[in-house]
Amino acid sequence: MKQTCNKNVGSKINIFKWSQEMDLLAYGTEKGEVFVHRLKWQKVWQLSPPEDGLKVRGIAWRPCYSNGTVLLVDLETKEEIHSFSIKTDITCLCWTDNTDEMAANDVSYNAVTSHTKYLPELPVLSSLSSSAKPLNPNRSSFCSKHILSILLIGTTTGLVYISALGMLPCDSIDVFSTLGLSSSSDASIREIKMSNDFKQLIVGIEQNETLHVVVLENDVLHKNAPAVLNLALKYAQILNTMSYMNETIDCIIEAWETVLLEMDNKLTNYAKDQTDGSISADFLELLMFGTASPSLEQFLLRDLTEKGLRKLGYSIELSYVTIQRLVVKPLYTAIHAMFYHLNTLDGMLRNRFYYGMLMRDAATATEVLRSCGALQIKAHELQQTIDASKRDFKIFFRWLYVVIVRVMDESLQENHPTITQREIHYLAQFLSNFDTVNQNTTADESRGMMESRKKFNLERVGQYLEDKPLIRPMVKDDENEWKKLLEENECLRKCDAIYPHYENMSLIQQQKLLNKSIDQLFDQPGKVIGADFKQKNLLTVQTSTASSGTNVRSFAFACHQRDQLTLMSILQSNRSLLLAECFHDGGLKAVRLHFEEKPYFDQRFDAFGTLTFQHVEFYDEETLSLLLRAQTSTDERVASSYFVQLNLGPVREFLATVETRGYMQTVTEDAAGCATLNLYTLIDDSSLKLLESSDGHKIAVSGKRNVIALLSESMKNVRIYDMDGQNEEDDILDTSSQINSSLDNSQESVQT
């Protein structure tokens, strides 16, 4: 055991945890910041809280915050993969993985992984729009292995939220109601853990000086784990596509607002001074008779000008080109990807034997698919509107330029294009709609428009980007034979394979309809899984008020793979440690470990003084890491910190002789309710490692990486120890022995 790092931090550390797969330590500070460091305290990245004043409540390599916000963060790029809120304060969170890949006998494996083969990558938005966020368009690829991971979130209100891959909601369980506790009580969820086969859920609820350990059991998640994984993967792909689509539409809206800004700067003041209906009349009169009203002529010569007209036309055309580029490439690609994912989901859910327990209403998937088809039709309609608007604006500005030049008694350029008769027809339609108001507008809305005075009603694209019905839907094409066929055949019009066209809905409304239908579809697995959890066992742990520690100091879990059980360590106080085994059938065995009086014939521990517990964590499924505090009888103010690795083999051998309890009773600190073991008989004095820091407060351990981290009482100092490292003295001895051996070898070679 060798100290490799000793660092002071600027803010108090509330929580810290090792990665079990990499040499990384994550910790959250009292300021709500999350840091990730390597073994040598090399900073990997720093994550600020989403809002000021938030605290980090839990880290399971995805931090959660005190306002109920949970972030899934990419470890390599610090990019936010997914975020959601449970709208209540969080107390803890935990990941449970099934280490066995499920692809071997999975009927839907190809359906959830083949999208990379058939779908093109989503375009990078930052290359098409300067306002786009630098996001990875393929964030759903974070789950590279076909392994189900369940995210558990405990709250102050007694709810346990279950989420597959941190994406698919699997409902919430009200554990307080199971124990008859109200949500307004002073109880809170201390720790949660799920068995690796997803059959058992163990919840620790702390209330004053009592800890209730509730064992819940379910069969739906346990038996349908492969199906839940497939649905979670597909939902992650859909969520990623939906987020990309939302970002694309935000970029389109920003480009559209640029169009409005340009028109507002030039045309709004003129429109405010005109009476209703006079704007279209003045421009149509100018088109038909070539004469402009005094106010219009003044506007063209003084406010708009020839140079301003050219600049306005160029700005609007550039904005429309940006919008069109965003619609044609990223938006179309995202909708096609969404259409693909929903099609594969619809095909998956038709396997009622495999998904029938989780998705009881397969018809809902078909309705979601129809909503996506309607969105695709609406995007195509928006593209047609953009084409028409570009055409009309070009004609309008070209004609208006000719008018301004003639009013100024100047001659046109020789190569200036003329306006054709067909373009005059488009121009007349364009001018006639300057003052149009939606006919479906209510009287109150109409009065509001009159009071605020209308602007130039030139723009047709923006109505698709507002959360309200279209003011001016596209003109119906009476020559469209397909629409005639649908209108004449109701059975064909209602066919699931033919997607509807909602003519009066905007693109935003259509998008919200799709999002809502997707949320409703994926609500079904959670309702089924959550309703299946039933209480299997209960263990009540009480702490004596006479003890110096009146609350549970630590609560840790470890899943034993070989024996298919869950180990629990509960530090009742600085004198008592409870170790329990929870079996597959819900049975519990418990033993209390404590430091009794030292055996009179054993003087090995006399030099250490009185040993008490400070903090405990599972190093692995066979070892328990103990942080101990030693205090001598000569000077009570002097205390030392020791670290020891407790082999659980002898303890579990003793537990094998203990009777299994189908329904546990209360376990108190005075040995009532379970067997006891004197910890002095289980450890050796040579196993006690004296730590340089005498104010050890908490430890974080990683058995796979063979490291521990020690947090001081001030919570601002972290020491890292390598469990495989050698002390400096050992290094010197090894080096000297190597030198001596090399000298001996050289002497032998000389002699020969």
User: Are residues 90 and 64 in contact, defined by beta-carbon separation less than 8 angstroms?
Assistant: yes
404's CB contacts (< 8 A; 6+ apart) are: 300, 301, 304, 305, 306, 309
Helix (H) or strand (E) holding 591: strand 588-594
Question: From CA 382, how far away is CA 405, in angstroms rounded?
Answer: 34
Among the listed residues 308, 294, 301, the one whose alpha carbon sits nearest the alpha carbon of residue 404: 301
- HSE-up of 58 (CA within 13 Å, CB side)? 26
Question: From CA 161, how far away is CA 203, in angstroms rounded?
Answer: 12
Q: Which two tokens stand for residue 641?
A: 């910190």
**Amino acid 432: pLDDT:** 77
β-strand 90-97 against 80-85: which pairing, if any?
Answer: unpaired
Residues 460-477 as b/e (b if ≥16 CB within 10 A, e otherwise) read bbbbbbeeebbbebeeee
Q: Which two tokens stand for residue 143?
A: 């789950």
Instruction: Collect contacts of 651-657 with beta carbons under 8 A, ≥24 apart.
Output: 651/579, 651/591, 651/593, 651/677, 651/682, 652/581, 654/591, 655/579, 655/581, 655/589, 655/590, 655/591
Q: Which two tokens stand for residue 625?
A: 């890491």
Between the alpha carbon of residue 182 and those of residues 161, 217, 533, the distances in Å are 18, 22, 19
CA diameter of the chain: 122
550's CB contacts (< 8 A; 6+ apart) are: 209, 543, 573
| Amino acid occupying residue 256 | W
Question: From CA 27, how far away is CA 63, in angstroms rounded?
Answer: 9
Q: Tokens 């350029």 sit at which residue?
A: 413
Which residue intervals of 522-664 are DSSP H helices?
Answer: 524-531, 649-656
Question: From CA 256, how far away is CA 320, in angstroms rounded?
Answer: 8
Question: From CA 573, how far away is CA 632, in angstroms rounded?
Answer: 19
pLDDT along the chain (752 residues), means of 10: 86 86 86 87 87 84 74 81 84 81 68 83 80 61 74 89 89 84 78 89 85 89 89 90 91 81 65 71 80 79 77 82 90 93 90 84 80 93 89 84 78 72 83 58 38 52 88 75 82 83 92 92 87 87 57 77 84 85 86 76 66 88 89 66 90 85 67 76 82 84 88 89 66 43 39 33
Burial of 491 (0-12, 13-18, 19+ CB in 10 A): exposed
Between the alpha carbon of residue 527 and those of residues 11, 166, 362, 521, 684, the distances in Å are 42, 17, 15, 11, 52
Q: At residue 381, what are phi and psi to the nearest 5 degrees? A: -65, -40
**Amino acid 50: pLDDT:** 83
User: Are residues 544 and 570 in contact, defined by beta-carbon separation less than 8 angstroms?
Assistant: no
Between the alpha carbon of residue 78 and those of residues 17, 44, 81, 140, 293, the distances in Å are 17, 9, 9, 15, 61
**Amino acid 379: pLDDT:** 93
Length of the chain: 752
Question: From CA 636, how far away is CA 156, in angstroms rounded?
Answer: 38
Instruction: Return the domain boundaries, the chain.
Output: 225-438+454-529
Q: Which two tokens stand for residue 430?
A: 């364009």
Is the alpha carbon torsion for 318, 323, 324, 325 positive or negative?
positive
Q: What is the pTM of this model?
A: 0.82
Query: How far out from the chain centre does Cα 555 lie?
Result: 26
Taking 3-state DSSP, the helix, strand and coil percentages for the chain, each rounded to the nearest 5, stand at: 40, 25, 35
